Amino acid sequence: MAVAAFLDALAAVLAGTLLCAGMAKLAVPAHLSRAIGELAPAVGSRAVVLARVVAVAEVSTALALSAPAARGAGAVAGVVLGATFAGAGIVASNRGLGMPCGCFGRAGGRSLGARNVAFGFILAGSSALLLRVGSGGWAAPEGLPMLGTAATAVVLAGWLYQDMIRDLAPSLGLRGRKVLQSRGTG
């Protein structure tokens, strides 16, 4: 039971991460397409299409991992995606590429490299584990895994856009604080 619950949680975390990355890239594929263009100059203007394909693949994998009947297929897709990310990270590291990866649809940030290799291995390894041990369905009650995926995606989005949220929330960080109010915590 504990193993099944762990696998459920693992699948929800993977699916939430992929959902967040995929939907963000669907909305803003430009940054990933630039990284793809640097990684594989031969693709030219098709880099945007490739970025959207990656995004759709991530979202599809996330949905499959969240649906009990499709968990096995989602795990297979997770292995393939993980291997692709790791491969891209290794190639980019070897070539010393500097374009931000746009992995979550955002401008700036780190370029393709060690982080992508690490995430790729984690995704592929976890998906392989799900495929081997936990592809038979969910231990959690019906519907709960999808909520777990949604919760993971919301938390991740909140963390990714924390600067924007903090800046746009007028009550946070825009007002000065009393010096003497800091006595308690110094």
Partner 1 sequence: MIYVLAFMVLLLTAVMIMFFAMLGELYSRVGPAPAATGPLQEAKVGQRPQAWPRELAPLATATDAVLLVLSTSCASCVQVAGQLRDRFEPMTGYVTGVVLSTADPDRAEAFVREHGLPRDSVYVDVEGAWVTTEFGVLTSPSALILRDGQLSSALVFTDVAALQSAVAPAT
Give the interface with partner 1 as residue ranges (CB under 8 A).
19-20, 23-28, 59, 63, 66, 104-108, 141-147, 149-150, 153-154, 157, 160-161, 163-164, 167-168, 173-186
Q: Which is nearer to partner 1, 57 or 157 (CB)?
A: 157
Q: Return d(Cα 100, Cα 35) in angstroms, integer.
A: 6
What is the residue whose two structure tokens read 């401008």?
107
Q: Are 145 and 124 in contact (CB under 8 A)?
A: no
Alpha carbon dihedral 133, 136, 142, 146, in 10-degree steps, equals 60
- Distances, alpha carbon 105 to alpha carbons 54, 78, 142, in Å: 12, 19, 31
Residue 184: both structure tokens together: 């308690």
Least distance from partner 1 to the Cβ atom of residue 15, Å: 9
Q: Which is nearer to partner 1, 9 or 160 (CB)?
A: 160
Least separation in angstroms between CB 127 and partner 1? 19
Q: Which is nearer to partner 1, 83 or 106 (CB)?
A: 106
Closest CB to partner 1 among 20 and 88?
20
CB of 38 to partner 1, least distance (A): 19
Q: Least Å distance between CB 51 and partner 1? A: 13
Nearest CB to partner 1, comparing residues 45 and 181: 181
User: Residue 39 has which token pair?
Assistant: 């990684």
- Degrees to nearest 5, angle at CA 95 with 90 and 100: 80
Smallest distance from the beta carbon of 81 to partner 1, in angstroms? 17
Asked if 16 and 62 count as a contact pair (C-beta separation under 8 A), the reply is: yes
Residue 80 belongs to what H/E stretch? helix 71-95
